[in-house]
Amino acid sequence: MKRFLKRTGWVCLSLFLLLNIIAAFHAWKFTHFYDENGRRNKQPEQMTTREKLGIIFFGVRIAKSVTTQSPAVPFEIVHLRTQNGLQLEGWWIPVKNSRGTVILFHGYNGNKGSLFPEADRFRALGYNTFLLDFRAHGNSEGHTCSVGYKEAEDVKLAWDYVHQKTTQPIILWGVSMGAAAILKAVPEYGLHPQKIILQCPFATLTDAVKSRMRAVHLPVTPLSQLLAFWGGVEQGFWGAGFKPESYAKDIKVPVLYFYGQQDIRVMPAETQAVFSNLDTRQKTLHIFPNAGHQSFCGKDAAVWMKEVTTFLQ
């Protein structure tokens, strides 16, 4: 019996170590991008069974996003510097007789060039816009993404730049990872935006990992927790503690919150958790019934514009 128990213990230990090695490997691949200009990354749900199996065994290889478009209106290229020395690139796009400024933040593996539909409409409403490439995205330096944790510093840098540029009200807009970074940055750095517009942020880093696991049909536990743990360890933070739903408790300003009912990445329970925790009476949740995890402005511009116009009045 002792011999059997000893062997069983060694088998369990070996499996535990193997599982952690696999999780650490996949976490590294998920948060590190490669310079492969011209290659477009497929969404997991767009992959074939063979491609999904390749990810399971060899990890995902993610090309760093490339900003290929420029604004069609006069703009200024702005460079900001992170604490660890990375140069970030942003676009300052002013309007005449502005009412304030909207700072826009893209999602995971996106870039500022994808935000033209929203930025154009904000300018039509009389707002300057500032668009930023997060670290490791677009024309900004770096190849490591922390899915919003360290990107909160990028939000603060963008805020500081605009705050020095103008004394008018500042509004923060973010989608997915960008929204999560805003939720972390506002209380952590003591930012005071007039209003915030959030689009489909995840509730916790573990939830964000689960969405990727579901997309390639892998079990969400315990691998999802291990991936979040190792992703944090590899980048120097506690992955289980990265919770936008908790940061929401420190948001005191008016919030407009958008969610797509067909979203397969962010679950309805996550949306309710973040929204209910927002510590402001001036909050509105608008659900787009036919939209997924995407640009709601691109999906239904008329409804998006109506909600945003009312919110900014």
pLDDT, tens digit, for every residue of 250-309? 999 999 999 999 998 999 999 999 999 999 999 999 999 999 999 999 999 999 999 999
* Rounded-to-integer distance, Cα 39 and Cα 286, Å: 34
* Spatial CA neighbour of 108 closest among 26, 258, 208, 24: 208
* Orientation angle between helical segments 205-215 and 223-235, nearest 10 degrees: 120
Q: Using alpha carbons only, what angle is made at residue 127 by residues 121 and 129, rounded to the nearest 5 degrees?
A: 80
Q: Reply yes or no on whether the pLDDT at 208 is more than 90.
A: yes
Query: Cα–Cα distances in Å, from 54 out to 31, 196, 201?
Result: 17, 40, 28
**Are residues 259 and 288 in contact, defined by beta-carbon separation less than 8 angstroms?**
yes
Q: Reply yes or no on whether the pLDDT at 222 is more than 80.
A: no
**Are residues 92 and 104 in contact, defined by beta-carbon separation less than 8 angstroms?**
no
pLDDT band of 19, cuts 50, 70, 90: confident
pLDDT band of 26, cuts 50, 70, 90: confident
Say which residue, 253 or 36, is predicted with more confidence.
Answer: 253
**Are residues 238 and 276 in contact, defined by beta-carbon separation less than 8 angstroms?**
no
Q: Reply yes or no on whether the pLDDT at 192 is more than 80.
A: yes
Q: What is the mean pLDDT of the chain?
A: 91
Share of the chain above pLDDT 70, in %: 90
Q: Reply yes or no on whether the pLDDT at 150 is more than 90.
A: yes
**Are residues 82 and 154 in contact, defined by beta-carbon separation less than 8 angstroms?**
yes
pLDDT value for 43: 63
Say which residue, 32 or 46, is predicted with more confidence.
Answer: 32
* Rounded-to-integer distance, Cα 252 and Cα 187, Å: 10
What is the average pLDDT across 184-195? 98
The dihedral over CA atoms of 28, 179, 123, 284, expressed in degrees to the nearest 10, equals 160
DSSP secondary structure letter of residue 98: -
- Show the domains of the chain with their CATH numbers: 1-63+204-237 (no CATH), 74-203+243-312 (3.40.50.1820)
What is the average pLDDT across 223-244? 93
The dihedral over CA atoms of 46, 141, 133, 178, expressed in degrees to the nearest 10, equals 70
pLDDT value for 214: 74
Q: Which residues contact 208 (CB under 8 A, 6 or more apart)?
A: 147, 177, 180, 202, 228
pLDDT value for 6: 74
Q: Reply yes or no on whether the pLDDT at 195 is more than 60.
A: yes
pLDDT value for 307: 98
Q: Is the peptide bond before 222 cis (omega within 30 degrees of 0)?
A: yes
CA-based torsion, 50, 53, 58, 59: positive or negative: positive
pLDDT value for 14: 83
* Spatial CA neighbour of 229 closest among 202, 215, 203, 209: 209
User: pTM of the predicted model, to two decimals?
Assistant: 0.92
**Are residues 211 and 220 in contact, defined by beta-carbon separation less than 8 angstroms?**
no
pLDDT value for 60: 75
pLDDT in tens, 100-121: 999 999 999 999 999 999 999 9
pLDDT in tens, 51-60: 655 666 666 7
Helix or strand (DSSP H, E) at 255: strand 255-260
